[in-house]
Amino acid sequence: MRGYSAVAIGDLIRHANIGRSTFYLHFSSKRDLLEHSLDGLCAGLAACVDGDAASERLVSLLEHFRDQRHLNRVFFEDPIRSIWVGRLARLIERKLRGNRGPSHHRQPLPRSFVARTVAELQLAMIIHWLRNPGSVTPERMSIAILTNTHALLAGSRIPPGA
């Protein structure tokens, strides 16, 4: 396996059996293609920011990660991991803009900082879990990710005057 950095656009279009112009009609770069391919995974993790996110949805995502861990371990290493964190953080930040929260709280840290921290936390938990197979069930892991995400978000707000 050559790795993400060694793969060129020419490799991608040959493998997909498409022309260069077709590729660039849909994507501006291989990074753009990668980010687009991460959207489904990111949406499932970003949903943890919502107060009504279902643990069951997260369980199926975690089961997918677990089942594919040997094939997709490259996703949990740089440079792909960093790209994934950035994409996930952007989706989380959008959700934070939409979720204003109680009016008596304010966020002392920039949303982008909080979103990036949540994204890092979530992926770090998943990576550690995948590297320690059998340590925790996907159901317990989903609850841990949801609980830690909500705790981090709650901890990023301070009451007025504090």
pLDDT at 41: 84
- Residue 90 φ/ψ region, left for φ over 0, alpha for ψ in the -120 to 50 degree band, beta for the rest: alpha
- Asked whether the predicted pLDDT for residue 161 surpasses 50, the reply is no
Length of the chain equals 162
Taking residue 56's Cβ as centre, other Cβ atoms within 10 Å add up to 10
Q: Who contacts 34 (Cβ-Cβ below 8 Å, separation ≥6)?
A: 4, 80, 83
User: What local confidence, expressed as pLDDT, does residue 51 receive?
Assistant: 67
> Which range, 3-7, 50-54, 90-94, is most confident?
90-94
Per-residue confidence (pLDDT) for residue 141, from 0 to 100: 95
pLDDT tens profile 89-141: 999 999 988 765 544 445 578 899 999 999 999 999 999 999 887 889 999 99
CATH architecture of 30-155: Orthogonal Bundle (1.10)
Delimit the domains of the chain by residue range: 30-155
Structure tokens at 85: 């964190």
Alpha helix segments (H runs only) across 69-110:
80-98
pLDDT tops 50 at residue 82: yes
Average pLDDT of the chain?
Answer: 85
Sign for the pseudo-dihedral over CA of 61, 63, 66, 71:
negative
Distance CA 96, CA 153 (A): 9
